Amino acid sequence: MLAPLFSGSVKWLKARLTHRQGLSPLVEYRNLIKLWRKVWIAPHPTTPLFLLGPILALLGTLGALALLPILPGPTFKGDFLLALYLLGLGRFFQMLAALDAGSSFGVQGGYREGMVTVLAEPGTLMALAGAVLLGEGFSLSGLPQLGVENSLVLLLALASLALGLSAEGARMPVDDPTTHLELTMIHEAQILDHSGPLLALYELAGSLKMLFYAGLMALLLPGFKPLVFLGVGVAWVLALAYLETYGVKLRYLRLPDFLSYNTLFGVLALLGAIWRF
């Protein structure tokens, strides 16, 4: 429910930072309702995969969110692996749906997303696994909270999750959510041929995905969970708005350099968890 507010607030703050009036932070809700009522367009060469893309992108993200123990939900050994792979399920079908329309943009978006996944996934998973190893029960509900004795591992995990959010949530500096230039877009290129309700599902899935990473970070921080969650959300809105106003998107070929930090943090967090430093 909160997700559209999150991306709406980023848009609003970005507008204010560039001295524009900006739309209200609630604009994303209105946008989703508007899209939901529109006619959707089925390009000629498409197959059922075209519809499965947005559906599974949303369902995979919802499934991953359901495994977060912020709200009462299922919890079991190894649930963090399932959560990350459910996001992967959504990504698989999103990439396929992008290839479905037969446009070269969609395919470009598909392989770029694939490369970002290859770069970002190992680090994020290792960092999360490091944090889980320090906790109890091998699951998200037993995640440890930031304290003195585990500060190194958890700070590394937080940094890695932050990079993971920018990579997998398709935000700056990995991807620019406002660009529609063929040479630069990653996420937008994949959803170019989706319109109306299909686009609404994609937009919702995109903001939910960011909420998932924010939720993971909130789990690692001490305090009353819903409040921490809100705090992390506000911090992300500020960070993303400033970064996307004053920063620039990285050149696509420079992404390996940037995301190698993610892998580095992941390896260090896991090593820290093994040797308990």
Partner 1 sequence: MAISPVSALLSGAMTKLGLLGLYQSQYWFGPPPPWVGWVLLLLGLLGAVYALVRGLGEEDLKGALAYSSVENLGLMLAALGTYFLKPMPLLLGAFFLHQVAHALFKGLLFLGAGALGERRISHLGGLFRKAPGLGALALWGMGVGAGLPPGPVFLAEWQLYQGFLQGPFLVPLAAGALALVGALALYFYVRLFGLAFLGLPRGEAALHWTQGMRFGLGVLAGLLLLLALVPGLVLDPLGVRTYPNWLLLILLGVLVGVFYRGLLRMPMRAYSTWDCGFQPLSPRMQPNGLGFAEPALRLFPFLRLQVGEHPRLFSCNSSPWWWFWGWSCYDGALGPGVGSAFFGKRQVAEG
- State how far the Cα of 188 lies from the Cα of 112, in Å rounded to an integer: 11
Smallest separation, CB 219 to partner 1 (Å): 18
- Residue closer to partner 1 by CB (options 86, 159) is 86
Considering only CA atoms, which of 5, 216, 192, 7 is closest in space to residue 104?
192
Residues 197-216, interacting with partner 1 (CB under 8 A): 197-198, 201
Question: CA nearest 266: which of 167, 166, 160?
Answer: 160
Report d(CA 55, CA 15) in Å as an integer: 31
3-state secondary structure of 133: helix
Cβ proximity to partner 1: between 133 and 243 the closer is 133
Of the ranges 2-10, 97-105, 213-221, 239-247, which one interacts with partner 1 (CB under 8 A)?
97-105
Q: Whose Cβ is closer to partner 1: residue 23's or residue 52's?
A: 52
Size of the site for partner 1 (CB under 8 A): 72
Stretch touching partner 1 by CB under 8 A, among 2-10, 18-26, 123-131, 237-245: 123-131
CB of 50 to partner 1, least distance (A): 9
Residue 149: partners with Cβ closer than 8 Å, 6 or more residues away? none
Q: How far apart are CA 135 and CA 26, in angstroms?
A: 37
Contact between 256 and partner 1 per CB under 8 A: yes
Question: Contacts with partner 1 in 23-82 (CB under 8 A)?
Answer: 39-45, 47-49, 51-52, 55-56, 58-59, 63, 74, 76-79, 81-82
Task: Give me 18's structure tokens.
Answer: 């560039």
Q: Which of 22, 69, 122, 231 binds partner 1 (CB under 8 A)?
A: 122
Alpha-carbon distance 103 to 85, whole Å?
28
Q: How far apart are CA 135 and CA 30, in angstroms?
A: 41
Q: Which of residues 225-244 bind partner 1 (CB under 8 A)?
A: none
Q: Which residues in the 257-276 window bind partner 1 by CB under 8 A?
A: 263, 266-267, 270-271, 273-274
**194, 114 contact by CB (below 8 A):** no
Does residue 250 belong to the site contacting partner 1 (CB under 8 A)? no
